[in-house]
Structure 1
Amino acid sequence: MIETRNLRFSYGEREVLRGISLEVGEGEFVAILGPNGAGKSTLLKCLAGILRCEGVFLKDRSVRDYSPKELSRVLAYVPQRVEPGFLTVFDTVLLGRRPYMGLTPSEKDLEVVEEALKRLGIEELALKRTNEISGGELQKVSIARALAQEPEILLMDEPTNNLDLKSQLEVMRLARELAKGGKTVIMVMHDVNLALRFARRFVFMKDGRKIADGGLEVLSEKLFEEVYGVRVEIGEIRGVPVIVPL
């Protein structure tokens, strides 16, 4: 569904992505993992079409060939940071319907927004301005706006930032549910244990390169030492792998 072919990207003279080839199909839930500066967020922005680059393909068509409206009907991006503003939460989420709306929102647009707010458990915030809510609540608003786009592919950059433990679990369960329903979910994460609990495929990056890609079978203590420079022990609790730094 979405792929990169020997993707390279530089900020000026600094090369950030070095020959990344990656193919993600329908209904996959992929966690992109790695240390700070590995190129994870840059990769996600390339996939989203935010950074203009060669080598990114959506449904066998270059992302660069899509119009913004076409792309936003297929793909939604949740950034790492969201700036609050003076719009209400409801109107902010309604912005996710722009690819479909005419001059005024339809009944369906309003229903989709209400459903997105409900799925994130933030219905009671609908009439509050986004500069009146917490950072964690604002993060949920950003995810709700992405859901309102009804995308086939959801790209999320550290979506559990600023969230308490309960909210982290809610967001990850939602992502897993979306993938089971056929949507493609690609998520940049720093919390390795949270990723291992919910995602089904893991892409490890370091220094702009893909180091490992696969399911739980790719996990090894050697991999974590290579990627993070940290010795770990891999255990298991109730069938879920747990990474313990030593």
Structure 2
Amino acid sequence: MKAITIENLSFSYNGVEVLREINLEVEEGELVAILGPNGAGKSTLLRCIAGILRCRGVEVFGKPLERYSRNELAKIIAYVPQRTEPGFMTVFDTVLLGRRPYMGLRPSKEDLEATRRALERIGIAGLALKTTNKLSGGELQKVSIARALAQEPRILMLDEPTNNLDIRSQLEVMRFARDFSSEGGTSILVMHDVNLALRFARRFVFMKNGRIVADGGKEILKPSLFREVYGVDVVIEEIGGTPLVVPV
């Protein structure tokens, strides 16, 4: 089943076109990495799909995005931005905010349990009573992902999810995104770390100047593509069945 369908999507900020004629289909259960240089439009595309930016041409599970209420959409799509500002709430209460689409005036036993599960799955249950302004950047990033997980979404959208994370934490987050997809969810990640994306994703969307330049699996990974998208010459080797891109 198609989780997301985009037809001829264009988007402008203050009269400046940022996305141009985007066409994209994402199947349920896919893990898709969106790659490209700074200013390519990757984050803007993610925000359009998530319904944060108003646009036309996006369907989610066969229904136009604009026909969903904010609450309905929050039960389907969880979006994690590049940066989250710390505050004075505890980690537990911050992750509990992910349950807002389901909560009444007070959180239910199910809401509390979903929050605990999210903390445990991301590996930060030990931080539950700590306030977010006492966390490192990497810990704060994990809290944001746990909050998204608490929403129990069908589509997970992560914008630079490995920012501020050490190598071990990067691998943990990427494994989580992969597992989420293998369990039937859909993961869409905007990334700058090409080699980390190539290790975990099976489909890659390369963007430049607001357009999709290439879309496919490992077969599209050629030095000419990286020269076109990034303006650099690379050598592509394979280690243990995983492509490795080395700038020359």
Q: Does the TM-score normalized on the shorter chain lie above 0.5? A: yes
Aligned to 2:118: 116
- Of the three residues 180, 183, 207, the one matched with 2:182 is 180
What letter matches 1:52 in structure 2? R
**What does 1:1-246 correspond to in 2, within 5 Å?**
1-246=3-248
CA distance in 2, matches of 1:238, 1:21: 33
Regions of 4+ moved over 2 Å: none
Name the SS of the counterpart of 1:154 in structure 2. strand
What letter matches 1:136 in structure 2? G
Bigger shift: residues 101-110 or 13-22? 101-110
Task: Name the count of aligned residue pairs.
Answer: 246
Name the SS of the counterpart of 1:84 in structure 2. coil
Cα deviation code 1:177-200 (max 9, x no counterpart) = 010000000000000000000011
Please list every run of 5 or more consecutive structure 2 residues that lacks an aligned counterpart in the other structure. none
What letter matches 1:244 in structure 2? V
Question: Normalized against structure 1, the TM-score is what?
Answer: 0.99
Q: Report the alpha carbon displacement of residue 12 of structure 1 after superposing the two structures with TM.
A: 1.2
CA distance in 1, matches of 2:181, 2:242: 19
CA RMSD of aligned residues (A): 0.6
Cα deviation code 1:202-243 (max 9, x no counterpart) = 000000000000111111000000000000000011111000
What letter matches 2:48 in structure 1? C
Q: Report the alpha carbon displacement of residue 13 of structure 1 after superposing the two structures with TM.
A: 1.5
Aligned identity (percent) is: 69
Q: Report the alpha carbon displacement of residue 36 of structure 1 after superposing the two structures with TM.
A: 0.2
Name the SS of the counterpart of 1:31 in structure 2. strand
What letter matches 1:25 in structure 2? E
CA distance in 2, matches of 1:59, 1:112: 24
What letter matches 2:215 in structure 1? D
